[in-house]
A and B are shown apart, each in its own frame.
Chain A
Amino acid sequence: GNSVTQMEGPVTLSEEAFLTINCTYTATGYPSLFWYVQYPGEGLQLLLKATKADDKGSNKGFEATYRKETTSFHLEKGSVQVSDSAVYFCALSDLDYGQNFVFGPGTRLSVLP
Chain B
Amino acid sequence: DAGITQSPRHKVTETGTPVTLRCHQTENHRYMYWYRQDPGHGLRLIHYSYGVKDTDKGEVSDGYSVSRSKTEDFLLTLESATSSQTSVYFCAISESVRRKNTEAFFGQGTRLTVV
Q: How large is the interface on B (under 10, 10 to 19, 20 to 34, 35 or more residues)?
A: 20 to 34
Cβ of A106 and Cβ of B42 under 8 Å apart?
A: yes
Interface size of A in residues (CB-CB distance below 8 Å): 22
B90: chain A residues at CB < 8 Å are: 43-44
Tell me what chain A mostly uses at the interface: helix, strand, loop, or mixed. Answer: strand
Contact B43 A100 (CB under 8 A): no
With contacts A89-B42, A106-B42 taken as known, whether A100 is within 8 angstroms of B103 at the C-beta atoms is no
- Tell me whether A100 and B33 are in contact (CB under 8 A): yes
Q: Beyond A34-B103, A96-B99, A101-B101, is A43–B108 a contact (Cβ under 8 Å)?
A: yes
Contact surface of B with A, Cβ cutoff 8 Å: 31, 33, 40-43, 45, 48, 90, 92, 94, 96, 99-101, 103-109
Give the interface of A toward B (CB within 8 A): 32, 34, 36, 42-46, 49, 51, 89, 91, 93-96, 100-101, 103-106
